[in-house]
Amino acid sequence: MRIPKAIILDSNRNEPYAMVATGLSLFVFAYSSIFGQVSILAYYGLWFLPVLVNYRKALGDYRRFLWIYAFAVLAFLSTFWSAAPGTSLRASLQYLSHIFCALVAVRVVGLRSFTRGTIFGTGLVLLYSLAFGRYQSDALDGSFSFVGAFESKNQLGFYASLSFYFAFAAVVIQAERNPLLLSCYAVISAIAGYCLIASQSATSVLTVIVIIMASLIMKAVSWLTPRHRTVLFTAGAIFGTVAVLAFIYGGGFALILGAFGKDTTLTGRTYLWGQGIEAIKLNPLLGTGYQAYWVQGFAEAERLWFEFYIATRTGFHFHNTYIETTVELGLTGLLLLCLLMLNALISTLRQMLTNARDPEAATLFGLTLMLLIRSFVEIDTLNPYQVGSFLLYFVVGRMALRRSVSKRRRSPRNDDASDHADTASPVAIRGSSTG
């Protein structure tokens, strides 16, 4: 029995495969520490399958996307100066292969499948946590919150916020009208809302509120002409920045923290940031090596684990993507990561401001904004087999693919046969955005 290749490769016809691959990947990211290496192998199997079916279509002209690997390549090269070379080598190879899977997903998963797969995948994650999760006390602030099947309430909150946002995006941005799906989204959103409240993750709750408000504003702006959108957005961005700064310096930030039971130290984060800045001074250009700081037996890591009551001596970080990056990969790594984040944000924003209606860009803009906001207090995008890094590289790759297709449309004499699959189905690039 032969399975048609389109069922795997054509983003307009492969919705069952694309949804399952996306949803199960998110489940693996959440619980690979529970299910072990078998789950990681399953994840690789899901995304290497399109390559085995037709590597030309699954990979396209990979030379156009080599720049996306720059940060991961630096992580690999850090093995040569790392304080823990074995750890850096293993982790960087995992990160490189993780990015590869995300870029395969870019070419074979349409927007509708991606959105539905993410909603059902995060829903499955939350249901598993409700079934097998637990409550846990925080030794630092004395709170007692639901962490699900995770080790951290912030991770449960992250998945809940993703679930809530994508359900919102499906209905409001992509105009989903299927009654059965709408019912499912409502149930999953209710579960996500409960998990957000039970986890008491201030970061996740505030992020969801900000992202939904920003998405509603951008949707309203989309009714204007592209020229008027740009003018209004520029004026709004300037006014919004001034208003936020005035709010923070006027004591508003402390007021919000107090509403969530937090103090101005952000439960010890400001102390951690100071420790991270001191660690950066040891090797500011290249850092200590990818994932080479939090290693058992290293004096500073052991000290911080002890001070923050981390009995397992694993799974800790500086709670700031930029500080963590600079500690591990120096200012060089910080520059590459910032370029990656800015590329995702600016690319999606540009598409929203210049196109008549662009549900894909609007959905990915909200997702990028979520990752950007969280990056100041979490490290969602720095590790392999993490949902944040997979989503970031999906956004960057998707926008790069769209630019590549647009350029070739303007240059019809382009005879690059190896990447002809990109132009074969323009609808796939826009992501099957309706329905």
- List, for residues 297-321, the tens digit of each pLDDT value: 999 999 999 988 888 888 889 999 9
Residue 433's closest CA among 378, 337, 360, 361? 360
Instruction: Check pLDDT > 50 for residue 427.
Output: no
Instruction: Check pLDDT > 70 for residue 25.
Output: yes
- Cα 8 to chain centroid distance, Å, stands at 24
Query: Do residues 64 and 269 make contact, with C-beta atoms less than 8 angstroms apart?
Result: no
Instruction: Check pLDDT > 90 for residue 250.
Output: no
What is the model's pLDDT at position 240?
78
Q: What is the mean pLDDT of residues 358-384?
A: 95
Contacts of residue 261, Cβ cutoff 8 Å, sequence gap at least 6:
141, 143, 200
Q: What is the mean pLDDT of residues 245-265?
A: 67
| Rounded Cα distance, 358 and 365, in Å | 11
Instruction: Report H helices in 133-225.
Output: 153-168, 179-199, 202-221
| Rounded Cα distance, 292 and 221, in Å | 45
Distances (CA, A) of 141 to 259, 325, 432: 14, 26, 46
| Rounded Cα distance, 382 and 375, in Å | 10
Q: How does pLDDT run across 90-107, given as a tens digit for each residue?
A: 999 999 999 999 999 999
Query: Do residues 126 and 194 make contact, with C-beta atoms less than 8 angstroms apart?
Result: no
DSSP string, 155-176: HHHHHHHHHHHHHHIIIIIS--
Query: Do residues 326 and 288 make contact, with C-beta atoms less than 8 angstroms apart?
Result: no
Instruction: Check pLDDT > 60 for residue 435.
Output: no
Helix (H, G, I), strand (E, B) or coil at 401: helix
Distances (CA, A) of 376 to 119, 122, 270, 370, 388: 25, 23, 11, 11, 13
Q: What is the DSSP letter of 281?
A: T
Q: Does the pTM of the predicted model rise above 0.85?
A: yes
What is the model's pLDDT at position 405?
78
Instruction: Check pLDDT > 60 for residue 143.
Output: yes
Query: Do residues 39 and 32 make contact, with C-beta atoms less than 8 angstroms apart?
Result: yes
The H or E element containing residue 136 is strand 134-137
What is the model's pLDDT at position 235?
84
Lowest mean pLDDT among 177-186, 351-360, 363-372: 351-360
Residue 353's closest CA among 366, 341, 362, 340? 362
Q: How does pLDDT run across 39-87, given as a tens digit for each residue?
A: 999 999 999 999 999 888 888 887 788 999 999 999 999 999 999 999 9
109 Rama class: left (phi>0) / alpha (psi -120 to 50) / beta: beta
Instruction: Check pLDDT > 90 for residue 239.
Output: no
What is the model's pLDDT at position 85?
96
Q: How does pLDDT run across 374-404, given as a tens digit for each residue?
A: 999 999 999 999 999 999 999 999 999 988 8
